[in-house]
């Protein structure tokens, strides 16, 4: 689903009214496994308008008729955007970041809440979301190995076409540089405060964060 469609929603009132009725009927009458929260509640919880949520819901339901997406389906969808590489590992990490209640599936609510932060969130909110992505085991810290796992997954996803002369040790070298800057007290792990402070105050790290946002 192209996120540009979200910001170019038609302003025609008559179309909005008719689509509102049809989507609300779907929410009430469909026999999917998971029924999303009401549009009003999602509108209050996210930075999307009612019409934007309607478009997002249609796209989500087209890809996931059951109302939820499991990890394998998520990987299949995500890999279509990166045919030149292997996106499966990064998609696994991304799926876990969207699956906030860790039940093995991503609902429309999970998807919209995450997308709202990535597209419309403050810098602080985006960095907290990114920290959660890097904190693979969800212990509240980022280890050097966790950062390396994410970095390797990104390089694998971008493929040899993007990095034709990439040496095997390059991801580790990049992680060493980032981790040294972030681990302020040199205790071997990066806390969320260290992560946010480093990203906000280091121009090079912020550029790398923008690269990671682009692959989301």
Query: Taking a C-beta distance cutoff of 8 angstroms, is the pair 183, 173 a contact?
Result: no
- Write out pLDDT tens, residues 123-176: 889 899 999 999 999 999 999 999 999 999 988 888 766 655 566 677 888 899
Q: Which residue has the higher pLDDT, 213 or 3?
A: 213
Query: Taking a C-beta distance cutoff of 8 angstroms, is the pair 195, 142 a contact?
Result: yes
Residue showing tokens 């390059």:
170
* Ordered structural domains, the chain, with CATH: 43-121 (1.10.238.10), 123-215 (1.10.238.10)
| pTM of the complete model | 0.73
Least confident of 36-40, 90-94, 146-150: 36-40
Give the β-pairing of 68-70 and 105-107.
antiparallel
Residue 184 CA to residue 195 CA, distance in Å, equals: 9
Residue 50 CA to residue 171 CA, distance in Å, equals: 42
Q: How confident is the model at residue 24 (pLDDT cuts 50, 70, 90)?
A: very low
Query: Taking a C-beta distance cutoff of 8 angstroms, is the pair 139, 128 a contact?
Result: no
- Write out pLDDT tens, residues 72-89: 999 998 898 888 889 999
Residue 75 CA to residue 77 CA, distance in Å, equals: 5
- Write out pLDDT tens, residues 53-72: 999 999 998 888 988 999 99
Give the β-pairing of 189-190 and 68-70.
unpaired
Query: Taking a C-beta distance cutoff of 8 angstroms, is the pair 68, 33 a contact?
Result: yes
- For 6, residues 6+ apart whose C-beta sits below 8 A from its C-beta are 48, 52, 55, 56, 119
């Amino acid at each position: 689903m192209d996120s540009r469609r979200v910001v170019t929603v038609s302003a025609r009132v008559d179309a909005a009214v008719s689509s509102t009725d049809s989507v609300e009927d779907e929410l009430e009458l469909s026999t999917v496994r998971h029924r999303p929260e009401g549009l009003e509640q999602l509108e209050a919880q996210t930075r999307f308008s009612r019409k934007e949520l309607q478009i997002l819901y249609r796209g989500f339901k087209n890809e996931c008729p059951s109302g939820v997406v499991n990890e394998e389906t998520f990987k299949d969808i995500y890999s279509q955007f990166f045919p030149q590489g292997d996106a499966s590992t990064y998609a696994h990490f991304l799926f876990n970041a969207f699956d906030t209640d860790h039940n093995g599936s991503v609902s429309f609510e999970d998807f919209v809440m995450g997308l709202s932060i990535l597209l419309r969130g403050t810098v602080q909110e985006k960095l907290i979301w990114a920290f959660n992505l890097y904190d693979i085991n969800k212990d509240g810290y980022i280890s050097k190995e966790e950062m390396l796992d994410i970095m390797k997954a990104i390089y694998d996803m971008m493929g040899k076409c993007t990095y034709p002369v990439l040496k095997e040790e390059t991801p580790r070298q990049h992680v060493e540089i980032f981790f040294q800057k972030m681990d302020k007290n040199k205790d071997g792990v990066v806390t969320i405060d260290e992560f946010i402070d480093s990203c906000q105050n280091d121009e090079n790290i912020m550029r790398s964060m923008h690269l990671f946002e682009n692959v989301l």
